[in-house]
Structure 1
C-alpha cells in the first residue's frame, strides 16, 4: 500500500532508493571519518549496507553523545584525533584485518599524509579515497603525486547548497555567542578571511544583517567577486588591526602568533573548521593569560592587547549542532556514488570528481524524494542506524 512520505522518512527513503539504483559491487570495506551527528545515522546505515564498515572515526568536535551510544551497538568506533590517527598503526591494522578491497571516506584530509605509504604497504588492497571538504581536497592536492585515486566532492555544485547553509549556521552561532557577551553583530566591523563557498556565504549573510563586511582572500579574482557583492576589500594588515570580529574560512592557518599580537583589542575570532587547520595557536598560552569568559569564549590577555577566541578555535557552528537540513544528504549521496565508480572503474591515481551526468542523476533522485509534494513511497522498511 502506497503511503504519503513524511519528512521524517525522506532521508531513509533517499538512501534506500540510491543504494538500489547504484547496485554497488559487493565485498568492499570502508573506513569512515564522519561528523557523528543525528543526520549521519541513515548515511552510516546505507554505507554499511553497500559495504562493510571496518571502523567509524568520529570528528572529535562534532559528536552527539546519544548518536555515539547508538552507533557503538552497530559499528567499531575509533575515537582518535587526527594526530593519533596519523602517528599510530590504527589504519594499518584495519587494512591488515580487511578481507577484500578498502575505500577510505575522509573529512578534512585525515588520511592524506598516510595514503601513499598505505598503498605501498598494502598493494592492491586500498582502492581509493573519497574526500568531503575543501580543506581535505587541498591536503590531498599537496600530497601529489598520489598513488591512488581520490574522489573529491568539495568543489561539486551539489555541495554549494550545503556550503551556503554552513555559512548561515556559522553566522547563527556567532550571533548567539556575541549576544552572550553583550555584542550585536550588525553594529560591528566584521571581516572574513577566505572568500570560498563558505566564506562567501558568511559574508553574504553578514551583509543581509546590515553588518559592515570586509573580505580578504589571497586570490584577487575572489577579492574582486567580494567587491562586486559590496564588501570592502582592505589589505590583510588593515583587517587584522581594525576588525571587531574575524571569521576564518581558509583551511590554511590564516592566523599565526604575530597576527594575534596585532589584533584590535577586544576582537572576537571565529573559525569554520578545526583550530589546527585554521590558525596556529601553539604559542598563545605562552604569551597570553587565558580566561574563560563563558562556556565557549576564552579571553586572551597580554600587556599589548586582548582578544576573544570562540570554541577554542574550532568550528563555531557545531556549538549549536550545525543543522544543514536535507541538502547534506545529496553530498553524502555523491560520496556513495563515488564508491561505486572506484569499485567498478577506478581511474588513474590523482584527484577526480563525478561527471555532470552522474551528478544530475543524484539531483533528480534528491528532487524526487525531498522536493515532490505530495511524495509517496510504498516501502518504508528501511531500518535504523
Structure 2
C-alpha cells in the first residue's frame, strides 16, 4: 500500500470514528485476519476502543502487517481455539489484559463462544458484548442456549455482500492457480460446491461463467431449491455429488467433508476450502489410511491403494495464499465492526443477537463512497 493510500484509509477510519465515537471507550480484544491493509483498521479500532490486544488468525498472518501493528504500539497475542475453549484460561487471559474494565470482544469465527457464559459471570469487569464478523461465528453464538450478553452480528449485513462475492472470486482464482501449478485447469472438470450461502453461490456463479459444469449440495433444502432455480445441477446427497466431481469447493463454514466422505472422491479430485481445515474438513483419521506427499507448493496428494486425491493449502482457505484481497470493499465491513463496537459501548442492548441500524449502515456507505468511489 502506497503512502497516499494509507493516508486516505486512515482519514476514512478517522471520519467513521468521529461520527460514531462513544462517550467512554471500552477495552477491546480484536481477532482478525492480519492482511497487508489491516494496520489501518487496527488504528481505527483504537480510536473507538482501548485496544488491549490484537489476536491474529493463525493461518492468515502477514509478517509485515504484524510488525507494523507492533511498531504502532499494539500488543499481538497468539490465538488458538484452546485459549477460549477453556473457561478458566479465557477468564485469566482477559483479567490479565483488562482487569475491571468494560470490554468488547471482536470476533471472527466464534472463538469467544465456548467461554462466553463464564467470562460474563466471572470477569471482574463487564463484558459489554461481542461483535461477530462471519456466518459460521454467527451460527456458533446463535446456537448457544442463552446468550449472556449482546452479540452484534456483521455476518448478514448488506455491507458485507460485496466482500462475500469477491471472496468467492478469490477462492476460484486461487484454486485454479494451484491447479495450474501442476499444469492442470478447471475447464473440463465437474465442480461440486458444498454450501450455497453467500460464498458458495458466488463460487458457483463464477465457476459457471468460466465454463465449468457446476453441481451444488447444501444440507438446507431451501438453498438447494435456490441453486436449482439459478440453473445449477443439485446433488440429491453429498455422496452422489462427490462421486461425480473433479473439483470440490467447501463453503459451509462448518463441516463439509467427514472422514468417510474422502474415499468417495474420484481419483485426482482437487479439494479446496474457504475457511480453516478444522472447520470444513475431518482430516484427523486420514493419515491412518492415506499416505501424504507434498507434490507441489501448497498441493498435497493423499494416496492409498487404488485411490488418490489432492488437498490444496492443507485444507485451509486457499485465497489467503494470494492475499485474499477484495479491494476497498473490505473497509465497509471494518467500518461496521467499528460502529457495532460503539453501539455496545453505550450498554443499552439486552442479551441476544443484534445488528446495527439501517441508518448507521447508510452513513457508513455514504462515507465509503466519498473516499473510494473514484
Q: For this structure pair, what is the TM-score category when the shorter chain's length is used for normalisation? A: over 0.9
The aligned residue for residue 201 of structure 2 is 200
* 1:366 and 2:364 aligned: no
The aligned residue for residue 279 of structure 1 is 281
The aligned residue for residue 230 of structure 2 is 229
Equivalent position SS for 2:293? strand
The aligned residue for residue 267 of structure 1 is 269
Matching residue within 57, 60, 73 for 1:59: 57
Q: Offset of 1:25 from its aligned partner?
A: 2.4
Q: Deviation per CA, 1:300-324: give whole Å up to 9, x if none.
A: 1112421111111100000111011
The aligned residue for residue 86 of structure 1 is 85
Q: Offset of 1:88 from its aligned partner?
A: 7.4
Residues 90 and 68 (structure 1), Cα distance of their counterparts in 2 relative to 1, 3 Å cut? farther
Q: Deviation per CA, 1:57-98: give whole Å up to 9, x if none.
A: 100010001111222232111123222442375542343242
Instruction: Decide which moves more: 229-238 or 333-342.
Output: 229-238
Q: Distance in 2 between matches of 1:259 and 1:83?
A: 27
Q: Distance in 2 between matches of 1:84 and 1:187?
A: 45
Q: Offset of 1:50 from its aligned partner?
A: 1.8
Q: In 2, are the aligned partners of 1:261 and 1:304 still within 8 Å (CA)?
A: no
| TM-score, normalising length: structure 2 | 0.95
Matching residue within 282, 294, 297 for 1:295: 297
Q: Distance in 1 between matches of 2:232 and 2:7?
A: 41
* 1:43 and 2:41 aligned: yes
* 1:151 and 2:149 aligned: no
The aligned residue for residue 26 of structure 2 is 28
Number of aligned residue pairs: give it: 368
Q: Offset of 1:7 from its aligned partner?
A: 4.7
Residues 45 and 299 (structure 1), Cα distance of their counterparts in 2 relative to 1, 3 Å cut? same
Q: In 2, are the aligned partners of 1:132 and 1:153 still within 8 Å (CA)?
A: yes
The aligned residue for residue 111 of structure 1 is 112
Unmatched runs of 5 consecutive residues or more in structure 2: none
The aligned residue for residue 259 of structure 2 is 257
Unmatched runs of 5 consecutive residues or more in structure 1: 374-385
Q: Deviation per CA, 1:325-368: give whole Å up to 9, x if none.
A: 11101101111111111111431111111121221111111112
| TM-score, normalising length: structure 1 | 0.92
Q: In 2, are the aligned partners of 1:107 and 1:136 still within 8 Å (CA)?
A: yes
Q: Distance in 1 between matches of 2:342 and 2:116?
A: 20
The aligned residue for residue 382 of structure 1 is none
Root-mean-square deviation over aligned CA pairs: 1.6
Q: Which has the higher contact order (CA 8 A, sep 6+)?
A: 1
The aligned residue for residue 357 of structure 1 is 359
The aligned residue for residue 216 of structure 2 is 215
Equivalent position SS for 2:37? helix
